[in-house]
Structure 1
Amino acid sequence: MLALDMDGTLLNEEKEISGENRRWIGEASRAGIAVMFSTGRGRQSALPYAEQLGLETPMVLVNGSEVWRTPNELYKRTLMPLDWIRTMRKMALDYDVWYWAYAVQGIFNRENWPKTPEAEEAMGWLKFGYYSENPVKLPAIRKTLEGWGTLEITNSHPFNIELNPLGISKASGLRDVCEFLGLEMSQVIAMGDSENDLSMIREAGLGVAMGNAQDEVKAEADAVTATNDEDGVARVIRRYIFGLE
């Protein structure tokens, strides 16, 4: 199985799948490799790319809060308690930073938050995030949240924080996928560039960091490939699946 992060990994800086990556994903799929997404994105934004590649494989979405058997069949969903969401949103407002949250019904942020408590309650909340380039605010928020002891705290960019329930990660999602596909994590190649990819890079048989990855990710990976603008995914498929240089 080949598990791919999307932003900063499969997708180039224009948020596109290059022709070379598309070609070699097709080759891997035809060779019997289950090529799948393992991403912080929700289904609404990940699905068009799966369709573009013709993938009917599982998907690990929202950093593991959703696991799909196929792009259209949900296997597992882990929701975040509403009181956590409300407390994290209040913290964002207090610190005056950008925030967003994924729910089953869509993605919400500072500009389109549900208007009433009843509307908030109607949502199935999956993940919360903060963004700030302020060197003081983001570390302060993170330190407070670490004190809760109930959250997986990662990022998908040096200037953000992403929150999932404790124990929910891309690795936990891939373990679920391996279980229903009859695979072992040792049979997985996992590729990514950010802190939210670390769990799967650590647990996969081969964990690969992108050339544009954060330094911590590169330090823990088994291998480092080219950047997302240099067809790093295609290079890994060529080298580690087909033995080509």
Structure 2
Amino acid sequence: MADATGKYKLLALDLDGTLLNDRSEISETNIEWVRRAVEAGVTVCVSTGRGFPSALPIAEQLGLYTPMITVNGGEIWTKPHEIHRRTLLDWEKIARLREIALRYNVWYWAYSTGGIHNKEQWVDDVPTLDWLKFGFYSEDVPVLQDILREINDWEGLEISNSSPYNIEINAMGVSKATALMELCKMLGCEMSEVVSIGDSLNDIAAIRASGLGIAMGNAQEEVKFAANVVTASNTEDGVAEAIRQYVLRT
């Protein structure tokens, strides 16, 4: 277990299920404590499975002009609109993953550098786009497990989820953890000085790699097991509680 009494310089915040409540809103309490962390000199970084266009308004609402991690680490931004590194997923894999989604009749989506594409709005010419992530969604968990078993044998995939009802796929080696390691090089800090807060499997590598890994009260059980501590849920201002208790220790 990491020591939770050190000085932390970088706070990586997941969005959905973590900073955001179940209505996809940020509570005033969470906003206030993020602001206090920034004022104390902590670099607060959005770290999300979302694409940049949907993550940016949240960073702006928080007044953050800091590095961002989007699409599970597929994109690392030095600051909003300034890309540092982008790691693509081969278009051939995107096409194969879509074929599986069609065969199992589940909803699917994918991010390219041009935006988000899904079952209702797919693209005709997959090879022409630069792809970042693919996802399956189904509330039929056994079906998701069947898909997972099928794609687990593929080479070149990094597999996670952002809820118990989806599977998310990036290029091998892409994760919020590897993105945070890159940010540490950029910012001149160590992973031991990082706090990561999240709720799903796409957060688990970062939670394990950080100096302090915090799971939300609503997190998946595997995430809680991997974390150093568990805070309150996303509907109970768990991020604010974590900042107050562990980052600023007030």
Query: What is the CA distance between 1:241 and its match in structure 2?
Result: 2.2
Paired-residue identity, %:
53
Equivalent position amino acid for 1:23 in 2: E
Query: What is the CA distance between 1:136 and its match in structure 2?
Result: 2.8
Tell me what 1:164 maps to. Answer: 170
Q: Which runs of 5+ in 1 are unaligned?
A: none
Residues in 1 aligned to 2:41 and 2:231: alpha-carbon distance in whole angstroms = 23
1:34 to 39, 43, 46: 43
The alignment's TM-score, normalised by the length of structure 2, stands at 0.95
135-144 or 60-69: bigger deviation: 135-144
Residues in 2 aligned to 1:105 and 1:193: alpha-carbon distance in whole angstroms = 28
Runs of 4+ in 1 over 6 A off after TM superposition: none
Query: What is the CA distance between 1:128 and its match in structure 2?
Result: 0.2
Deviation digits for residues 147-177 of structure 1, max 9, x if unmatched?
0132111110101100011110000110110
The answer to whether the aligner puts 1:61 opposite 2:67 as a matched pair is: no
Deviation digits for residues 12-51 of structure 1, max 9, x if unmatched?
1110110000001111101110011110000010000111
Equivalent position amino acid for 2:103 in 1: D
Tell me what 2:6 maps to. Answer: none
Tell me what 1:44 maps to. Answer: 53
Query: What is the CA distance between 1:240 and its match in structure 2?
Result: 1.4
Q: Which runs of 5+ in 2 are unaligned?
A: 1-9
Tell me what 1:146 maps to. Answer: 152
Residues in 2 aligned to 1:188 and 1:134: alpha-carbon distance in whole angstroms = 36
Tell me what 1:229 maps to. Answer: 235
204-213 or 127-136: bigger deviation: 127-136
The alignment's TM-score, normalised by the length of structure 1, stands at 0.97
Root-mean-square deviation (CA), in Å? 0.8
The answer to whether the aligner puts 1:109 opposite 2:118 as a matched pair is: yes
Residues in 1 aligned to 2:141 and 2:164: alpha-carbon distance in whole angstroms = 11
Query: What is the CA distance between 1:78 and its match in structure 2?
Result: 0.5
The answer to whether the aligner puts 1:79 opposite 2:79 as a matched pair is: no
| Partner SS state of residue 8, structure 1 | helix
**How many residues are matched?**
241
Tell me what 1:192 maps to. Answer: 198
| Partner SS state of residue 148, structure 1 | coil
2:25 to 1, 4, 16: 16
